[in-house]
């Protein structure tokens, strides 16, 4: 999955080249020029990691601050893409009920992404494990996880076909534009998907003391909070071709002793294992 016409680091470099000699700019001004103020933290991290004209950026300006950037605000193109994908999402059940569930997760080490998929049957028996290593080309920005993890997750899933529903470590409809990683992947792969996340991007649970609570955003049910004794809550939302009720049922059915449902828990363990092995081999 290619990000249409958008190299985050190169875009930052081009913006910094516009800052006149003797002037500085701020991470927030750069984030606005990229199209979304939520990218401020990512701007700071990428500038530090890539050493991009750090002398031109300050968080506490004392002189002339430059803000008149020429930019097509590329993050707005990505939000528009998410909105178009959200319109294609199907929130009704459209999958086999044989009970074969896959889980995909991605972990990181420096500029490498390690994706793993674990496929399990209804008896929690592991049927298949696959992994993939790729280069990270996009920073973490809240609401834009699809463009960071999507390429790695999609690559590992292309080798696997024998599953009914795919669990994704991320959100589905519980997203500012109703298109989290689970929705994006479901449409890209044309597969039923369910999002399972450790925190909320939008909305709030109706009753935090219940074992099961609806998550509401702007008056709309976008997900569910599942709370169990001994574990922090998890948040479930449909991605594509799975209803809200079935999303919750599938996740609850695949829960074991860990916080995450077993396919995702084991995929996370496998992704970390592959990452450690590759790191040792590469010194």
Average pLDDT, the chain: 92
Q: Is the pLDDT of residue 69 over 90?
A: yes
Name the DSSP class of 232.
Answer: -
Instruction: Give which of 102, 88, 105, 261 is closest to 178, Cα–Cα.
Output: 88
Place 1 in a pLDDT band, splitting at 50, 70 and 90: very low
CA distance 140 to 187: 21
Q: Cα 137 from chain centroid?
A: 14
Q: Is the pLDDT of residue 2 over 50?
A: no
Quick one: pLDDT at residue 261? 97
Q: Cα 42 from chain centroid?
A: 14
Quick one: pLDDT at residue 97? 82
Rounded to 5°, the CA angle 188-194-196 comes to 120
CA distance 86 to 184: 8
Alpha helices (H) along the chain? 8-16, 27-34, 40-50, 74-88, 145-157, 181-189, 244-253, 262-281
Place 210 in a pLDDT band, splitting at 50, 70 and 90: low
Mean pLDDT, rounded, for 217-242: 95
Q: Cα 64 from chain centroid?
A: 37
72-87 pLDDT per residue, tens: 999 999 999 999 999 9
pTM over 0.85: yes
Quick one: pLDDT at residue 277? 81
> Cβ(202)–Cβ(190) under 8 Å?
no
Query: Phi then psi for 175, rounded to 5 degrees?
Result: -145, 150
> Cβ(251)–Cβ(167) under 8 Å?
yes
Please state which of the ranges 92-106, 207-221, 232-246 shows the lowest mean pLDDT: 207-221
131-178 pLDDT per residue, tens: 999 988 899 999 999 999 999 999 999 888 889 999 999 999 999 999
Give the number of other Cβ atoms within 10 Å of residue 63's Cβ: 8
Write the burial class of residue 270 (CB in 10 Å: 0-12 exposed, 13-18 middle, 19+ buried): buried
Mean pLDDT, rounded, for 109-120: 93
Domains of the chain plus CATH, in order, are 8-72 (1.10.10.10), 88-281 (3.30.2170.10)
Point out which residues pair with 226 in neighbouring strands. Answer: 212, 234
């Amino acid at each position: 999955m290619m990000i249409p016409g958008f190299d985050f680091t190169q875009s930052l470099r081009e913006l910094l080249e516009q800052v006149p000699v003797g002037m500085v700019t701020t991470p927030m001004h750069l984030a606005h020029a990229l199209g979304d103020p939520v990218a401020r933290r990512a701007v700071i991290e990428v500038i530090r990691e890539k050493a991009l004209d750090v002398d031109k950026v300050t968080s506490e300006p004392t002189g002339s601050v430059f803000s008149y950037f020429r930019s097509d605000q590329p993050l707005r193109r990505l939000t528009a893409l998410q909105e178009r994908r959200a319109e294609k999402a199907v929130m009704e059940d459209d999958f086999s009920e044989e009970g074969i569930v896959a889980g995909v997760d991605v972990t990181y080490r420096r500029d490498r992404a390690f994706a793993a998929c674990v496929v399990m049957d209804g008896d929690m028996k592991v049927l298949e494990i696959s992994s993939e290593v790729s280069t990270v080309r996009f920073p973490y920005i809240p609401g834009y996880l699809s463009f960071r993890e999507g390429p790695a997750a999609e690559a590992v899933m292309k080798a696997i076909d024998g599953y009914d529903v795919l669990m994704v470590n991320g959100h589905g409809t519980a997203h500012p534009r109703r298109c989290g990683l689970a929705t994006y992947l479901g449409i890209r792969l044309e597969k039923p998907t369910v999002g399972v996340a450790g925190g909320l991007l939008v909305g709030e649970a109706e009753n935090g003391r219940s074992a099961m609570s609806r998550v509401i955003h702007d008056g709309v049910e976008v997900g569910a909070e599942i709370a169990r004794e001994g574990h922090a809550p998890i948040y479930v939302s449909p991605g594509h071709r799975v209803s809200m009720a079935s999303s919750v049922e599938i996740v609850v059915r695949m829960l074991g002793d860990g916080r995450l449902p077993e396919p995702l828990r084991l995929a996370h363990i496998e992704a970390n294992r592959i990452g450690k092995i590759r790191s040792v081999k590469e010194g």
